[in-house]
Amino acid sequence: MKNLYLIIVILSLTTNLIAQKKIAEKQSKSVLIMNGTAHLGNGKVIENSVIGFKDGKLQLVADATLVRIDMTAYDLKIDAAGKHIYPGFIAPNSTLGLVEIDAVKASDDEDEIGNFNPNVKSLMAYNAESKVTETVVPNGILTAQITPRGGRISGSSSIVQLDAWTWKDAVLKENDGIHLNFPNTFRTGRGAENGVIEVNKDYIKQIEEIVNFINTAKSYSSSTPKERNLVLEAMKGLLDGSQTLFIHANDEKQIIDAVNVFKENGINKLVIVGGYEAYKTTELLLKNNIPVLLKRIHEMPVNDDQDYDLPFKMAKILTEKGILVGLENSGNMERMNTRNLPFLAGTCAAYGLDKEIALQLITSNTAKILGIDSFCGTLEEGKDATLFISEGDALDMRTNKLKETFIQGRLINLENHQSNLNKIYKSKYNQN
């Protein structure tokens, strides 16, 4: 009997430890937010705004001094006086939900064996109940592009909203694009001391492998094969333009060669991911209408002869050249660091970019790059009611304090295991 009682106690404690937060229910009451400063995500600001939404869609976004409001048309009213309203931030090229604990192999599902895997679908592996994911929402990141890693062609990404029970509940756009890691022009010498850099002697050969794979996919697509090949079949979206090719490349030669190779082979819908030296290739990018998802800017310059603040200025340089720019956050501890996405944009503003243009780097610009701008990325009538109210400037870590958050009109619970631990230890040390 004692053993049975002990088992019950252990199971009870375990259940409490692993329990997930409650997922918000579908919006059932219309909402009206008044008196807040609305940052629309398209460069515009409404100082005294009125925002109404019903059934998950924005019905009213206007200046309160210019419209007559039927207060009886809304069930709930929120006074946002002195606060700021933003569209939900978007995290592209993210592995949220694909890895829970780096050191636990069973929780790591971000890549597959093999070099050419366009048929791999990251959405199938997405864990909507990830404890890491629920920690980024309180900073305003409400949408993400879930992206695979590894190999030459990693697979396809999908776009999700970050409050769901399963991947089927979360998905906003399935298989939006395929991700390719372009060959490096240089590599660290194997066994070399002090990380000596050497020319990648296989660079041309590796590019030829990509071209051969594309040609094989073209032949498969234009014929009636006796046997179905899922790998080659997965390339169809790139060949017919229904999918985007996200090219992960950083240095100047990589970017130039990548654009030329894929244009010559009939793949025209391209995005550069990383793009550290994209500022050296702006004419080529502009000519071919290619946007850039800039690598994490909170890093040191790559080369000794570069300005110490080059990463901070990169978005401004590209934007002023006319390039459509978004921010991505891949790198060390990228899932946990996703919560810092708004502060990357804040740094861009601190280094010369207008604050509202910096906001576009993680809202409307990214939505356009990912092809979801018809329903996401800005506060506009007819779009999803995915937004939040912050006590202050959401691009500043000191004042990014979310009060109310909505995804498709659903009021989101911002509590998570970190905020619960915060309450527990504040109570323990009488800091409430």
Q: Which domains does the chain have, with CATH numbers?
A: 19-88+377-432 (2.30.40.10), 89-375 (3.20.20.140)
pLDDT at position 67 over 50:
yes
Other C-beta atoms closer than 10 Å to the C-beta of 368 total 18
Listed in sequence order, the DSSP H helices in 115-176 are 167-170
pLDDT at position 150 over 80:
yes
pLDDT at position 35 over 60:
yes
pLDDT at position 276 over 50:
yes
Whether the Cβ atoms of residue 317 and residue 279 lie closer than 8 Å to each other:
yes
Once rounded to an integer, what is the mean pLDDT over residues 168-172?
Answer: 97
The answer for residues whose C-beta is within 8 angstroms of residue 269's C-beta and 6 or more apart is 238, 241, 243, 244, 245
pLDDT of residue 422: 86
Structure tokens at 3: 């053993």
C-alpha span between 93 and 318 (Å, rounded): 19
Once rounded to an integer, what is the mean pLDDT over residues 314-328?
Answer: 98
pLDDT of residue 390: 98
C-alpha span between 180 and 171 (Å, rounded): 22
C-alpha span between 205 and 226 (Å, rounded): 30
Q: Number of helices and strands (H, E) in the chain? A: 12, 20
pLDDT at position 17 over 80:
no
pLDDT of residue 189: 61
129 beta partners: none
Once rounded to an integer, what is the mean pLDDT over residues 195-214?
Answer: 92
pLDDT of residue 15: 43
pLDDT at position 16 over 50:
no
What per-residue string of b and e applies to 62-96 under the rule 16 or more CB within 10 Å gives b? bebeeeeeeeeebeeebebeebbbbbbbbbbbbbb
Average pLDDT score, the chain = 92
Q: Give 194's pLDDT tier (boundaries 50, 70, 90).
A: low
pLDDT of residue 75: 95
pLDDT at position 11 over 80:
no
Once rounded to an integer, what is the mean pLDDT over residues 328-356?
Answer: 96
- Distances 328 to 16, 340, 374, 385 between C-alpha atoms, Å: 34, 10, 21, 23
pLDDT of residue 190: 58
First to last CA, the chain: 41
Identity of the amino acid at 91: A
Question: Phi, psi at residue 251, to the nearest 5°?
Answer: -85, 165
pLDDT at position 403 over 90:
yes
C-alpha span between 219 and 296 (Å, rounded): 38
Comparing 198 with 248, which gets the higher pLDDT?
248
Once rounded to an integer, what is the mean pLDDT over residues 91-106?
Answer: 93
The answer for residues whose C-beta is within 8 angstroms of residue 105's C-beta and 6 or more apart is none
C-alpha span between 414 and 389 (Å, rounded): 12
SS3 state of residue 112: coil
pLDDT of residue 195: 61
Percent of the chain beyond pLDDT 90? 82
215-249, pLDDT tens digit by residue?
A: 999 999 988 888 999 999 999 999 999 999 999 99
Q: Which of 28-37, 42-51, 119-128, 296-305 is predicted least confidently?
A: 296-305
Global pTM reads 0.92
